[in-house]
Amino acid sequence: MTTENEVKDIPMVHLTINNIPIEVPKGTKIMQAAQTLGIDIPHLCYHEDQRIKAHCRLCAVEVVGKRRLLAACSTEVWEGMEVHTDTQIVRDTQVSILQLMLANHNKDCLSCPRNQNCDLQRLCSRFNIQHSPLPSVLKDEPRIETNPSIVRDPSKCIRCGRCIRACKDVQGIAALTYAGRSSDIVVTTAFNKPMEATDCILCGQCSLVCPTGAIVEKDDTNKVLDALQDPQKHVIVQVAPSVRVALGDAFGMEEGAIVTGQMVTALKLLGFDKVFDTNFGADLTIMEEGAEFLDRLQNGGTLPMMTSCSPGWVNYMEKHFPNCIGHLSSAKSPMSMFGAIAKTYYPENAGIDVKDIVTVSVMPCTAKKFEAARPEMSRNGIPDVDIVLTTRELIKLIKYVGLSFKNLPESEFDNPLGLGTGAGAIFGATGGVMEAALRTVYEKVTGETLEKIEFNEVRGFEGIKEAVINVKGREVRVCVAHTLQNARRIMEQVKKGTSPYDFIEIMACPGGCIGGGGQPIGTTNAIRKKRMAALYEIDRGLPLRKSHENPEIQTLYRDFLGEPLSQRAHELLHTTYHKVSKPYEFD
Amino acid sequence: MSNQVKFLTKNFGQYDTSSIGSYMDIGGFEALRKAVTMDPEKICDMITEVKVRGRGGAEYPLGRKWSQARAVVGENKIVVCNADEGETTTFKDRELIQKDPFNLIEALIIAGYVCGATDGYIYMRAEYACLRPLLLNAIRQAKNYGFLGENILGKGFDFNLHLYSGGGAYVCGEGTALIRSIEGKAGRPRMKPPFIKVSGLFARPTCLNNVESLSIVPHLLVDKGRVYASCGSGESIGTKMISVAGNVNNPGVFEIPFGTTVREIIYNLAGGIQHDREIQLIQFGGASGKIADASILDTPYTYDDLRNAGVMVGSGGILVIDERTSVIDFLRMNQEFFSEESCGQCTPCREGNLHIKIILDKIASHTATQEDIRIMATIARVMSMSSLCGLGETAQNTLQSAMLTFPEVFEVGGTES
């Protein structure tokens, strides 16, 4: 944390930008210095959460005394610097670079998934690029649509390298890289294999930072629209905890705004027969995973146990640490648990034929699409979850039907699968699953009521957090990590057998699901932190904050499942994992 | 002024390049013995006094560079010899390595001593693979004789030398790309800062020098007759290795005193134009160099005179093109080179080279419009002003100088023919 005193200790540098004198702390880059004056220097490869690349050169500015233009993203200001952002050569450069990009770009903007949400399009509009005098040099490259999660369209790629940095620096995977040189340079995978056949774990962080439509989620909105139009079908939807604090971004609301009520209304107006809450599934996960942890702890099972609700993380284990999959909790994710209940308990009670039920889930995640397609997540050919939409696709649907989202009245989730506790809500933030589990495990073991239910040690944006919890004389060592870069560090210990922990939570994406690869375009770490805070606010405001206190969960166990880890619970709510050494195949 | 001088080339043919003993017989390693008795800063001063500039093309003063390298705070500093020599028509460094390998080794050890480095790397272009055994042998013998390794000449100075071959990319002559190539990464330039002198090879402070710049130093240290200082004048003191290629009768590498005229170089040293044809153009400094027409012939070959004449010393390469090749065809050939060799990371260079090639082809086929010419000039300017590295910055030097020197070639005649 930067305190005010520390800020004062940084020497200030005086410079002028477009003849306006300003003073900024030493170390500031020209781009940020200009921002303080309200000057937005155009950029495409620059991303505030990534290390600087200085590839696109759109941010080139003139500095008096320098023969060449300097990149505003990478150049630190100096005392007496005189910057000009709007001279003829700067403008020529900006316009030329955009024209050069356009000449090598698939300009089917009107039918592009990123239409009206594209950085390149925005800049072309800003610089009034009305026609490009350059002939098209675009090579004929088809879309690559080989997996259920991510679609690549090389014809839209501007070679900015943001996806490469996200994959390598955030996840430590480096499935995407540059290959070739000069105008043949491309962003691709090793040996041009489909992403799923590489080290890629389909987290979608690449799609979140892509400035254009070169990497996008697989669009399943039409499947949902078709299902909603089918009078035979009973279409139910579940929404992940992190979607309700991200959705508002796309509709001009404050970042991190809690829009649960409007979201439920929107889904009802879209025509879903029932709008349920994945928080219910999260509570169920805690019941099963908590019981499994206690079982492992007390009966000498494999420890540390590791959470399994993040599908990118599960893919990572299967691909990168296949010999450690015994550490993964066998509990399905909240989404898939919910799906299993929605295809068994729910139709039985509601008197609906399971074949007529379509389960849709709205997730912050591209890897969830893959999870839903796993054969383990189905029974007798009936999948737990039929269609997974990302937050981005829900935004599209809401726009499609023309709803004024901001002004929608609020409404409540339907019952019985719409009731979730605060413990379920915080699943969306890194550390949330651990905290939710501790709330339940502690009370189950001790039989006492937790005095203070907030476990602050496992909250926050730090990459790896740890805590020791005394549970009735037994010290339980827990660890929480997000991003696979951090997960790898934890896993190296687990692999060597030197891990000091009993229970580890891992989320593949930065910040957890609130920063997932399916969240709205424009998601940054600053926004992730606001969403985290919003989830904890939701938790605070709920009357029930422990999963085992959820009355609908209690009813479910009483009437249907029996006990956690019962045979039926195992059949419906638990799964298996396997080593992945060959490409996935999809029909 | 005589255009025959032997300073850098004085050892050529004088010793058995496979034998350190033979090298020592003609005074080899005397410079190093002298250097280690000197205050390193004095060596920098000595270099600065005769105004040695980096011979790779950037022309940065060598004495200042070494002095700055000394001043950088950091452990395990590195000196790197850039023997990538990727500029077209440039092959002087090959001669220096081939005919005097021990001088280069000695120079690197001195550089290590002056800069306070523990390791030296020679990054040699892939095409010079034939010189690897020669250099490896020289390094091994120097190590056996105690000129490399620990406590060199009993002065408590440790230094080791490594040879690394490139993979064949022109851009790896650019400092940051060269360093990434040695590190085993794809040879693509990166943005600066961090500057190489602070964080270069393996993130260690690195001083990068051209073969020729380094090779000057041992000779300078034992230059009792002040031969070097007596050559040239003004800002261009000493001698210069040049390589002449193209339509000349006697292409090759020559050592000239600064101040020799271009005419003397082409007509005396290089034997004049084949079949006495007319000169169409002369390109100075390789593919990234600028071009001139025959009016440059009486210009003395010095940094300032060439610059005033619109060209640059650059890599030291001189390409003479006779009347049979049109300016446009020459530019297309030159452009072909950059369209291949751009690394592709930054937009202006990646896309710009592609479009300039298209427009040059249109000019050659008489289908270019005035608008095309205007666009070409703009792209060239944007490339030189805003590219990420020196390759993009200089790739259109040839075109831009051609547009100044041969404006008639780019006239469409007002009609959209």
3-state secondary structure A352-408: CCHHHEEEEEEECCCHHHHHHHCHHHEECCEECCCEEEEHHHHHHHHHHCCCCHHHC
> Chain-wide mean pLDDT for chain A?
95
Residues A70 and A142 in one domain: no
For A499, how many CA atoms within 13 A lie in the half-sphere containing its CB? 28
Residues A161 and A286 in one domain: no
Q: Look at residues A217, A250, A277 and tell me which one is the last residue of a structural domain.
A: A217
Structural domain boundaries, residue A205: 99-217
Residues A367 and A510 in one domain: yes
pLDDT bin (cut points 50, 70, 90) of residue B3 is: low
Residues A87-110 pLDDT 10s: 999 999 999 999 999 999 999 999
pLDDT score recorded for residue B35? 98
Query: Is position B105 within any domain?
Result: yes
In the three-class reduction of DSSP (H, G, I as helix; E, B as strand; rest coil), residue A75 is classed as coil
- How long is chain B? 417
The dihedral sign for the CA sequence A104, A110, A115, A116: positive
Q: Look at residues A86, A120, A149 and tell me which one is the last residue of a structural domain.
A: A86
Residues A262 and A180 in one domain: no
Lookup result for tokens 């957890």 = A512
pLDDT score recorded for residue B413? 61
Query: Is position A586 within any domain?
Result: no
User: What is the CATH number for A133?
Assistant: 3.30.70.20
Residues A36-59 pLDDT 10s: 999 999 999 999 999 999 999 999
pLDDT score recorded for residue B123? 98
Q: How far apart are CA A217 and CA A519, in angstroms?
A: 10
> What is the side-by-side strand order in the sheet with A305-306?
A305-306, A503-507, A474-482, A464-471
DSSP tally for chain A: helices H, then strands E: 20, 19
User: What is the CATH number for A9?
Assistant: 3.10.20.740
Burial class (CB in 10 A: 0-12, 13-18, 19+), A219: middle
Is A133's CB within 8 Å of B345's CB?
Answer: no
Query: Is position A322 within any domain?
Result: yes
Query: Is position A10 within any domain?
Result: yes
Total domains, chain B: 3
Residues B111 and B251 in one domain: no
Residues B341 and B356 in one domain: yes
The strand pair at A150-152 and A81-84 is best described as unpaired
Catalytic entry in A206, A309, A479, A509? A309
Total domains, chain A: 3
B343 touches chain A (CB under 8 A): yes
Residues A270 and A318 in one domain: yes
Residues in chain A with CB shorter than 8 Å from the CB of B369 are none
Task: Name the residue among B186, B188, B385 with its Cβ closest to that of A69.
Answer: B385
User: What is the CATH number for B344?
Assistant: 1.20.1440.230
Structural domain boundaries, residue B123: 20-227
Residues A170 and A225 in one domain: no
User: What is the CATH number for A525?
Assistant: 3.40.50.1780
Residues A332 and A405 in one domain: yes
Residues A377-397 pLDDT 10s: 999 999 999 999 999 999 999
Q: Look at residues B227, B250, B285 and tell me which one is the last residue of a structural domain.
A: B227
pLDDT score recorded for residue A145? 96
Residues B145 and B252 in one domain: no
pLDDT bin (cut points 50, 70, 90) of residue A9 is: confident
Q: How far apart are CA A74 and CA B346, in angstroms?
A: 14
In the three-class reduction of DSSP (H, G, I as helix; E, B as strand; rest coil), residue B273 is classed as strand
Is B348's CB within 8 Å of A97's CB?
Answer: yes
Q: How far apart are CA B389 and CA B349, in angstroms?
A: 9
pLDDT score recorded for residue A6? 54
Q: Look at residues B283, B300, B322 and tell me which one is the last residue of a structural domain.
A: B322
Is A185's CB within 8 Å of B355's CB?
Answer: no
Q: Which residues contact A505 (CB under 8 A, 6 or more apart)?
A: A306, A307, A430, A431, A433, A434, A437, A458, A478, A479, A480, A481
Query: Is position B209 within any domain?
Result: yes
ipTM: 0.94
Residues B217 and B237 in one domain: no
Residues A230 and A193 in one domain: no
Residues A421 and A547 in one domain: yes
Residues A470-485 pLDDT 10s: 988 889 999 999 999 9
Residues B235 and B312 in one domain: yes
In the three-class reduction of DSSP (H, G, I as helix; E, B as strand; rest coil), residue A208 is classed as helix
Measured CA angle at B170 (ends B165, B172), to 5 deg:
55
Residues A510 and A430 in one domain: yes
Is B348's CB within 8 Å of A89's CB?
Answer: no
pLDDT score recorded for residue A580? 87
Residues A204 and A227 in one domain: no
In terms of Cα–Cα distance, which of B219, B202, B296 is closest to B31? B219
Q: Which residues contact B100 (CB under 8 A, 6 or more apart)?
A: B9, B11, B12, B17, B215
3-state secondary structure A500-520: CCCEEEEECCCCCHHHCCCCC
Residues B214 and B264 in one domain: no
Residues A459 and A507 in one domain: yes
Residues A292-349 pLDDT 10s: 999 999 999 999 999 999 999 999 999 999 999 999 999 999 999 999 999 999 999 9
Task: Name the residue among B171, B348, B355 with its Cβ closest to that of A57.
Answer: B348
Cβ contact B8:B255 at 8 Å? yes
Using CA coordinates, name the residue in chain B closest to A68: B385
The dihedral sign for the CA sequence A389, A391, A395, A401: positive
- The DSSP-derived string for A237-251 is EEE-TTGGGTGGGGG
In the three-class reduction of DSSP (H, G, I as helix; E, B as strand; rest coil), residue B182 is classed as helix
Q: Residues A72-96, buried b or exposed e (16+ Cβ, 10 A)?
A: bbbbbbeeebebbbeeebbebbbbb
Q: How far apart are CA A535 and CA A507, in angstroms?
A: 16
Query: Is position B15 within any domain?
Result: no
pLDDT score recorded for residue A471? 87
Question: What DSSP element (H or E) covers A23?
Answer: strand A20-25
Secondary structure letter of residue A451 according to DSSP = S
